[in-house]
Structure 1
Amino acid sequence: MAADHIDAPAVSGGTSDITDYYAFQGENTSNIAFVANVQGLLSPGNTAAASFDENVMIEFNIDTSGDNVEDLVIQAVPRDGKMYVFGPVAPSQTGLNSTIMTNTNNLVVVDITPYGQSAIVESSGGIMAFAGPRDDPFFMDFAQYGEIIAGNATSFNDPGSDTFAGTNVLSLVVEVPKSMIGGSGTINTWVETKRKQ
Structure 2
Amino acid sequence: MSDHISGPRALAEPIADITDVYAFPSPENPGHLVLVVNTLPFARPDGRFSDGLIYRFRLRPLTLRDDPVGSRRYDTGTEEFVFDCVFSDPAEAGGAQTGSCRTPAGERIPFPVDDPGGGKGGGVRVFAGPRWDPFILDAPAALKTVATGRLAFTDPSAIFLDGKNVLGIVIEVDCAQVFGERVELVGVIAETLTRGRHNVRIERTGRPEVKNLLLGPKQFDQVNRDLEIRDLYNMEDAFHLADGYLGAYRARLNANLAFWDSLDGRVDWPADARGDHPLVDLVLADHLVVDVGKPYPENGTFLEIERAALAGSEHLTCGGRALNDDMMDTFLTFLINAGHGPVIRDGVDRSTRPATRTFPYLAEANPEPPRPPAHHHGRP
CA contact (8 A) 2:61 2:183 kept: no
Structure 1 unaligned blocks of 5 or more: 90-103
- Give the root-mean-square deviation of aligned CA atoms: 2.0
2:77 paired with 1:77: no
- Mapped partners of 1:178, 1:165: distance in 2: 34
Contact 2:57 2:82 in 1 (8 A): yes
Look up the match of 1:39: 40
Q: Is contact 2:56–2:84 with CA below 8 Å preserved after alignment?
A: yes
1:68 Cα offset (Å): 5.9
Q: Which amino acid aligns with 1:137?
A: P
Describe how 1:1-197 pairs up with structure 2 within 5 A.
Answer: 4-12=3-11, 13-26=13-26, 27-42=28-43, 46-48=44-46, 50-65=47-62, 66-67=75-76, 69=78, 71-80=80-89, 81-89=97-105, 104=106, 106-113=107-114, 119-151=116-148, 153-179=150-176, 180-182=178-180, 183-196=182-195, 197=198
Listed as ranges, the gaps of 5+ residues in structure 2 are: 63-74, 90-96, 199-380
Secondary structure of the residue that 1:119 maps to in structure 2? coil
Superposed CA deviations along residues 49-74 of structure 1, whole A, max 9, x for unmatched, are x2100010011001115426561100
Q: Report how far residue 152 of structure 1 moved.
A: 6.4
Deviation at 1:160, TM superposition (A): 2.0
For 1:53, what is the secondary structure of its paired residue?
coil
Aligned partners of 2:151, 2:108: CA distance in 1, in Å? 49
Contact kept? 1:59, 1:193, Cα under 8 Å: yes
Q: Which has the higher contact order (CA 8 A, sep 6+)?
A: 1
User: Is the 1:140–1:164 contact (alpha carbons within 8 Å) kept by the matching residues of 2?
Assistant: no
Identity %: 27
Look up the SS of the partner of 1:150 in the other structure: helix
Distance 1:87 1:185, change over 3 A: same
Contact kept in structure 1, 2:33 and 2:175, CA below 8 Å: yes
Q: Is the contact made by 1:136 and 1:167 (CA closer than 8 Å) also made in structure 2? A: yes
TM-score (norm: length of structure 2): 0.43
Give the direction of change, closer, same or farther, for the CA distance of 1:143–1:68 in structure 2 (3 Å limit). farther
Distance 1:181 1:156 in 2: 42
- Secondary structure of the 1:165 match is coil
Q: TM-score, normalized by length of structure 1? A: 0.79
Which of the pair is proportionally richer in helix? 2
One-letter amino acid matched to 1:87: T
For 1:47-100, what per-residue CA distance to the aligned partner results, in whole angstroms no more than 9, with x for missing partners?
A: 32x2100010011001115426561100100114111001124xxxxxxxxxxx
* Shift in CA distance, 191/166, structure 1 to aligned 2, threshold 3 Å: same
Counterpart amino acid of residue 37 in structure 2: A
- State whether residues 45 and 131 of structure 2, in contact with CA within 8 Å, keep that contact through their aligned partners in structure 1: no
CA distance in 2 between counterparts of 1:160 and 1:68 reads 42
Structure with greater Cα Rg: 2
Paired letter, 2:45: T
Higher strand share: 1
Change (3 A) 1:173 1:70: farther
User: Which segments of structure 1 move beyond 3 Å, counting only runs of 4 or more?
Assistant: none
